[in-house]
Amino acid sequence: MNKFSDKEYKNMWDERYMENEFVYGKEPNLFFKEWIQKLVPGSILMPADGEGRNGVFAAQLGWNVTSSDLSVEGKLKALYLAKEMNVDLEYFVGDLEELQFESVSFNAIGLIYAHFAADKKTLLHKKLNDYLKPGGIIIFEAFSKLHLLYNGIDPKVGGPKDFDMLFSTLEIAADFENYEILLLEEKEITLEEGKYHIGKSSVIRFVGRKK
């Protein structure tokens, strides 16, 4: 299993996002795209937004987007993409554990492949819950614990190799227990997102409305 220190993890993402191309592509994640288009635009928080493909897409739909990521290189790429698409992003660089946003201030949160350290992921999910308004929506897609079977066969599909950074439906239901579940499933999908999300994998998908 690959376990990184916080500094090593940040450096890994900086090095990846320094590549000239958009390493996960410029198009939004398909699941995020499907669900965000169903909602009335408001304010949305996009943690772990990387090169900004999902935040920029939300901004194109009229959302007021606040993005964050560990990587300053990710921010630079995201702002470049936002300029290319003629939209604005507010983008913060830093550890989500240390960043602070106003309580109950967002209408939606997008968590797209936002994999956190095993000892922090529930804590961070609870922290994000505090930022969401009652009636607000979380859109979540990330690799399931079965993902190790897939990236062991085909490393091009990417994702954590640490089992404890992956998700189960039980974990998500527990972390977001104060939500009406609109969708919660584990599903095999075929990813085609840039050069690092290519191939079959198993993911957890969750859409919930805060009670």
pLDDT in tens, the chain (211 residues): 456 677 888 999 999 999 999 999 999 999 999 999 999 999 999 999 999 999 999 999 999 999 999 999 999 999 999 999 999 999 999 999 999 999 999 999 999 999 999 999 999 999 999 999 999 999 999 999 999 999 988 999 999 999 999 999 999 999 999 999 999 999 999 999 999 999 999 999 999 999 9
Q: Is the pTM for the entire model greater than 0.75?
A: yes
* 6-210: CATH, from 3.40.50.150, 1.10.3720.10, 3.40.30.10, 3.40.50.300: 3.40.50.150
pLDDT at 1: 44
Helix axis angle for 6-17 and 72-84, nearest 10°, is 30
> Whose structure tokens read 């527990």?
174
Q: Which residues of 116-148 are buried (b: 16+ CB within 10 A; e: fewer)?
A: bbeeebeebbebbbebbeeebbbbbbbbbbebb
pLDDT given for residue 153 in this prediction? 87
Residues 6+ apart with CB under 8 A from 105: 43, 131, 133
- Altogether, the residues listed in the chain come to a count of 211
Specify the amino acid at residue 187: K
- pLDDT of amino acid 9: 86
Q: What's the pLDDT score for residue 4?
A: 63
Report, in angstroms and rounded to the nearest whole number, the Rg of the chain calculated over CA atoms. Answer: 16
Give the number of other Cβ atoms within 10 Å of residue 185's Cβ. Answer: 12
The domain limits of the chain are 6-210
Q: Distance between CA atoms of 6 and 56, rounded to whole angstroms?
A: 27
Q: Check: CB of residue 52 under 8 Å from CB of residue 117.
A: no
